[in-house]
A = this chain, B = another copy of it.
Amino acid sequence: MALQIEKIKKSKISDVDFNNLKFGQVFTDHMFECDYENGAWQTPKIRPYQALAFDPSAKVFHYGQAVFEGMKAYKDENNDVWLFRPDQNQERINKSAERLDMPAFPKEYFFEGLTELLKLDKEWVQKGEGNALYIRPFVIATENCVSASASTNYKFMIICSPVQAYYAGEVRVQIADKYSRSANGGVGYAKAAGNYAASFYPAKLAAEQGYQQVLWTDASNHEYLEEAGTMNVFFRVNDTLLTAPTSERILDGVTRKSIIQFAEDKGIKVEVRPIKVTEIVEAAKNGELLEMFGAGTAAVISPILGFAHKDEKFELPKVENSYASFIKKSLTDIQRNLAEDKFGWRFKVQ
């Protein structure tokens, strides 16, 4: 692979106020780009970050044929830059792509592009608690044709955005009882662009009632708890952690699987099994539901303070020895090279 690199003339980093970043709005100096044409991925390139020309008939605008990933890079006190389990994202973007009939992106291209891009834009990864570089690999359909069939052409890109600690404010969730996120036989397990657009309207309705997220349930009967907008979800009932099994409807989150492995290693009992709404409502009523939290790359762990189901509202107790706090601190310490990496999850950018 011959990666072509065109560097910026002058970095725009001095224009950026790293203490006042809005999530995902500022991008680094460079971007990685590779086109799929005539049945093959062409020469990958790193270029100055810039707008690109698209024909109005490009298929991504019409048929939502697009998949993406989300990862973070962290800088330690030695100025080394670390990724967290990037192999998982590399595999997952290709699983997502397959479900949307898009070509797989070669692993070597992914890693060489990612590594070279991060080396070039290393200054954009800030040290310190909460600071990170959010990395967005994505693939879009670029054939110029308004007929509803898979594209012949694609563009794979990686863009990067510096972020601070992700704090979504107090999070309470509404358990879905009417709208749904994905169906059996659908694309819920893929990070397919259209899944997200489909969730915005129900999320808005929930927000109007004071809930920051929708907690999705199965589309057939709204009987089982699945996941939230961009997070898998965990429930602590007494001293057991519960989370739904991944399925064709649920994204196989990297944070989720890391939490399961970490918690089990620490001797916390974890049950991965279908979780009934009624069971969690019951546990909340009789005081056994001690914690709920979302798990995803953006926030790592986001505590959920309460939830609504139909007309009932529940607040969770304040617990000492919170699993959420303990696991979040432990995982972020691993991510930031502040703790031993027992599971081999860290990946050094070099």
The complex places the Cα of A337 from the Cα of B326 at a distance, in Å, of 73
Using known A-B contacts A101-B200, A201-B100, A219-B219, determine if residue A192 contacts B146 with beta carbons closer than 8 Å: no
Judge if A77 is at the interface, Cβ distance under 8 Å: no
Which residues from chain B contact A16 at a C-beta distance below 8 Å? none
> Most B CB atoms within 10 A — which of A22, A136, A145, A198?
A198
Contact A54 B57 (CB under 8 A): no
| Interface residue total, chain A, C-beta cutoff 8 A | 69
The complex places the Cα of A53 from the Cα of B197 at a distance, in Å, of 22
Name A17-66 residues within 8 Å CB distance of B. Answer: 22-25, 27, 31, 49, 51-57, 60-66
Smallest beta-carbon distance A102→chain B, Å: 8
What is the chain B residue whose CB lies nearest that of A49? B56
Number of copies: 2
Contact B194 A98 (CB under 8 A): no
Contact B57 A60 (CB under 8 A): no
The complex places the Cα of A66 from the Cα of B159 at a distance, in Å, of 21
9 A-B contacts (beta carbon < 8 Å): A53-B54, A61-B66, A64-B194, A65-B196, A66-B197, A98-B201, A180-B184, A187-B198, A192-B198
Q: A184-211 CB contact bits vs B (8 Å, 1 = yes)?
A: 1111000011111111111110000000
The complex places the Cα of A180 from the Cα of B99 at a distance, in Å, of 12
Enumerate chain A interface residues (CB-CB to B < 8 A): 22-25, 27, 31, 49, 51-57, 60-66, 68, 98-101, 134, 136, 138, 140-141, 144-150, 157, 159, 161, 176, 178-187, 192-204, 219-220, 229-230
Using known A-B contacts A64-B192, A138-B62, A193-B194, determine if residue A53 contacts B51 with beta carbons closer than 8 Å: yes
Smallest beta-carbon distance A161→chain B, Å: 6
Contact A193 B63 (CB under 8 A): yes
Contact B183 A65 (CB under 8 A): no
What is the chain B residue whose CB lies nearest that of A204? B101
Which residues from chain B contact A60 at a C-beta distance below 8 Å? 60-61
Identify 19 new A-B residue pairs, CB closer than 8 A, beyond the known A31-B56, A52-B53, A219-B219. A23-B147, A24-B57, A27-B57, A51-B55, A61-B193, A62-B66, A63-B196, A64-B192, A64-B197, A65-B200, A148-B199, A178-B185, A180-B184, A181-B186, A184-B220, A187-B194, A187-B198, A192-B198, A220-B220
Using known A-B contacts A136-B146, A144-B25, A220-B220, determine if residue A197 contacts B61 with beta carbons closer than 8 Å: no
The complex places the Cα of A61 from the Cα of B196 at a distance, in Å, of 11
Contact A197 B56 (CB under 8 A): no
The complex places the Cα of A321 from the Cα of B199 at a distance, in Å, of 47
